[in-house]
A and B are shown apart, each in its own frame.
Chain A
Amino acid sequence: MNKTLLSLHHLSKEFDGKTVLDSLDLEIYDGEFITLLGPSGCGKTTLLRLMAGFEQPDAGTITLSGVDLTHTPPERRPLNTVFQHYALFPHMSVFDNVAYGLKMEKRPKDEIRQRVREALAMVQLEDYANRRPHQLSGGQQQRVAIARAVVKRPKVLLLDEPLSALDYKLRRTMQVELKRLQRELGITFVFVTHDQEEALSMSDRVVVLKDGRIQQLGTPREVYERPANLFTARFVGETNFFPGTVTAVGENELRVDVLGLARTLRKPTFAVAEGQRLHVLLRPEDIRVLDPADADGLPGKIVERNYKGSTLDSVIHLADGTEVLASEFFDEDDPAFDYRLGEPVKVSWVDGWEWLLPEEVDPTPAEDRTVEA
């Protein structure tokens, strides 16, 4: 599995003097599902377009199985693209759309017919071969776009936010379907998205991008549970940040003062010294909401409760004004579970479930932290 297929080396790209990609290195393995995740303007689409050959890098190289592709035009790269808004040829039938790539290869007619039929069967659109793209729904057009790209049996399939134009439910279905296709075809998928949920649920590996640089590269679990920096922690999922100060450094653990609460936490991989300030990160599902009489925890009061079906999400204001998000699974046997708005509570967590990051200059002010829908 870990055989490098596509290798990007020191890729840089500027548009009108603005750096979009900054000397980026990335190895993409054969047969993996890798996702480029980041907010708009992070360079993920540019990176994909460089791989497809629609843009030329200002510096750096792109190699596929050791062959330099950097200056090969798109029509001669064994990679195919699924575009965000499908880009189906409006004047051709579904069949002709899918057959287009094979006609360009000058394949015999019988082979084209056979392979197009197979590709359409794979996306369950056999009966739509004679329709025009505009007669299909968004989801069906998406499937045609996928069939059109995979019918050429590319080494790598590039997908540029292919699901962003679909509604939530259809997006879910297509996510499962794309995963299935990827498993069946054994093709490497490079998937671009700004939807962190999509990235986590589909990928083998996730590349978190910001300002043309890789912030983190890892499995969905690593990215979610062990974010490399504040940006990743904030962009991938909801996170609570508590300020901490190291009071003592032990063999395997730290004594940390969190808003007046003395906790013993696991020693992080980065170097720590006594008196150093830290970020203590906790996901909403790791937060425990306790009775105010409880000895443990930080006092606060409930300001919002959202019933989400399987979970109950709360917003708690601590005494110093910090906002804490908590997401609890239902436990009907717990009498203390159902707090009312304005009720005083205490907030705590199980030591060892937290994740520590060294203090860094916060690049984004709190009000800019909105994640795109």
Chain B
Amino acid sequence: MTRWLSRAYLASVYLLLYLPIVVLVVFSFNDSRTGYAWGGLSLRWYQSLFNNHAMVQAMWNSLWLALSAATVSTLIGALTALALHRYRFRGKKVLNGMLFVVMMSPEIVLAISLLALFLLVGIQLGYVSLLLAHVTFCLPFVVITVMARLSGFDERLPEAARDLGASDFTMTRTVLIPVIMPALMAGWLLGFTLSLDDVVVSTFVSGPSYEILPLRIYSMVRVGLKPEVNAVGTLLLVFSLVMLMLSQWILTRSKR
């Protein structure tokens, strides 16, 4: 009896989690216009999606923004993690704590403060302001991912490399970076995903010159649920599944 109950409970949890997604995917192939009645299988919403120039542009913008934000935050984040791991310096604890503050503080706070900053400094709202904002909120995640890898790093490895004749720079290039590479990739993927689906911060710091996908979708559903949204959602779902599998594959492959 309890066994049956626990199974039913588990099933209902999964149903609640995944049913909406399944509905979304199914209805993205729906030929009907109303969106709630099944009208046969069709790819017309995908077609109309790709014929929508503004939509495609927003997709490309989002992709480019996520790529650049993930790359920049991985570069800065990796260096920050290395500095925090390797050196003892004044204000190290403060720096470490501030990363968590960025991560834990409500997104809306970050969004408002960034907007205020950009207006104050006079940065035009658009790609640059979005990039700066996205790098800011991706950074702590990258730093924490890389630090976790570094904490399991054998301190003797750099010494062994030096002992065998490598300069500090060569050691970093041939030993340190390859060893923490999985963490760099995981951090990058995390940053990429975070940037791709961010709405709150982006709403505040984007301008009319650079429209991105999440905001585009948001404005679409405000006037009513269009079937194209289902198609976009399905595409995003497939894309994030691929990314997830990629990151899992990288991590398991690098595990010793």
- By a beta-carbon cutoff of 8 Å, the part of chain A in contact with chain B is 52-54, 73-76, 79-81, 83-85, 87-91, 100-101, 104-105, 134, 148-149, 152
Contact = CB atoms under 8 A, between A and B. Distances in A.
A75 B162 CA distance: 5
Contacts of A100: 161, 164, 166, 174
B164 A85 contact: no
Nearest to A74: B162
B39 interface: no
Contact of A75 (B166, B178, B181): B166
Interface in B122-158: 154, 156-157
A105 B159 CA distance: 17
Contacts of B166: 75, 100, 104
A74 B158 CA distance: 11
Contacts of B174: 100
A81 B163 contact: yes
A79 to B, nearest CB: 8
Nearest to A100: B164
B116 interface: no
A58 B228 CA distance: 72
Contacts, number: 64
A105 B161 CA distance: 12
B159 A54 contact: yes
A76 B175 CA distance: 18
Nearest to B175: A89
Interface string B78-93: 0000000000000000
B256 interface: yes
B256 A134 contact: yes
By CB atoms of chain A within 10 A, which of B160, B164, B181, B256 has the most? B164
Nearest to A98: B164
Given A85-B154, A90-B256, A104-B170, A152 B164 contact: yes
Contacts of A152: 164-165
20 contacts: A52-B159, A53-B162, A54-B163, A75-B166, A81-B160, A83-B160, A85-B154, A87-B154, A87-B160, A89-B157, A89-B175, A89-B179, A100-B161, A100-B164, A100-B174, A101-B164, A104-B164, A104-B166, A105-B165, A149-B163
Nearest to B153: A90
B196 to A, nearest CB: 30
Closest 7 A/B residue pairs (Cβ): A104-B165, A87-B156, A101-B164, A87-B160, A134-B256, A74-B162, A91-B178
B114 to A, nearest CB: 38
Given A85-B154, A87-B156, A74 B170 contact: no
Nearest to B256: A134
A76 B164 CA distance: 9
Contacts of B165: 75-76, 101, 104-105, 152
Contact of B156 (A73, A75, A83, A101): A83
Contacts of A54: 159, 162-163
A91 B254 CA distance: 9
B224 to A, nearest CB: 53
Contacts of B48: none
A71 B178 CA distance: 29
A123 to B, nearest CB: 16
Contacts of B178: 91
By CB atoms of chain A within 10 A, which of B162, B175, B179 has the most? B162
By CB atoms of chain B within 10 A, which of A80, A83, A91, A152 has the most? A91
A80 B159 contact: no
Given A75-B164, A83-B159, A83-B160, 16 more contacts: A52-B163, A54-B159, A54-B163, A74-B163, A75-B162, A79-B163, A80-B164, A84-B156, A85-B156, A87-B160, A89-B175, A89-B179, A100-B164, A101-B164, A101-B165, A134-B256
Contacts of A75: 162-167
B163 A80 contact: yes
A100 B122 CA distance: 51
Contact of A148 (B159, B164, B256): B164
A100 B175 CA distance: 10
A55 to B, nearest CB: 10
Contacts of B154: 85, 87
A98 to B, nearest CB: 10
Nearest to B170: A104
Contacts of A104: 164-166, 170
B159 A87 contact: yes
Given A90-B179, A90-B256, A134-B256, A74 B167 contact: no
Contacts of A83: 156, 159-160
Contacts of B179: 89-91
A89 B160 contact: yes
A84 B161 CA distance: 15
A89 B163 CA distance: 13
